[in-house]
Amino acid sequence: MLKVSNVTADGTEVPVAYFVDQEVMASVIDVLSSEYPILKIERGVKEVHLRDEDEVVLVYFESGSHAEAVAYIVSDSVYVDCVHGFLKLARKSRMTVTESVDPDDRREPLWASVKEKMDAEALNGKKFWLKKFKRRLK
């Protein structure tokens, strides 16, 4: 997974997007770089860390039989600017783009593959990331 952060004038890094892979990030990096002047890209990120105040959009590529979460974008307006790039990439695989702003969905990890998700759910239970999050709230 890749994390793209905005580096502010005081050097603070603020995450603006997470992507499942390089190809998905490349489809919208021009939009992100025009919105945020200084970007830092981290590869090999294991977890998504979002602030409660972020307007998070979870981006999916969908076919008739399945959906793959491919990105988190932390601003509605930036997501709208990125839609064209996402659509262009999704169409290459005969998929469409959908999104979710449901607060529960923002806890789902970005899976490198369907197999990775199925293996993790077999080991930890279906939608285990939601259960883990709800326990933290208590």
Which tens digits make up the pLDDT trace of 7-32?
Answer: 999 999 999 999 999 999 999 999 99
Mean pLDDT on 78-102 = 91
CB 72 within 8 A of CB 110: yes
Mean pLDDT on 84-105 = 87
Residues in the chain: 138
pLDDT, position 97: 93
pLDDT, position 113: 60
Helix crossing, 128-137 with 114-124: angle to 10°? 50
In the chain, where are the structural domains located? Answer: 2-111
* Neighbour order of strands in the sheet with 96-100: 39-43, 2-7, 13-19, 67-73, 57-62, 96-100
pLDDT, position 109: 65
DSSP 29-89: HHHHHHHSSSEEEEES-------TTS--EEEEEE-SS-EEEEEEES-HHHHHHHHHHHHHH
**122 or 6: which leads in pLDDT:** 6
Which tens digits make up the pLDDT trace of 117-133?
Answer: 667 777 777 666 555 44
How far is CA 9 from its chain centroid?
25
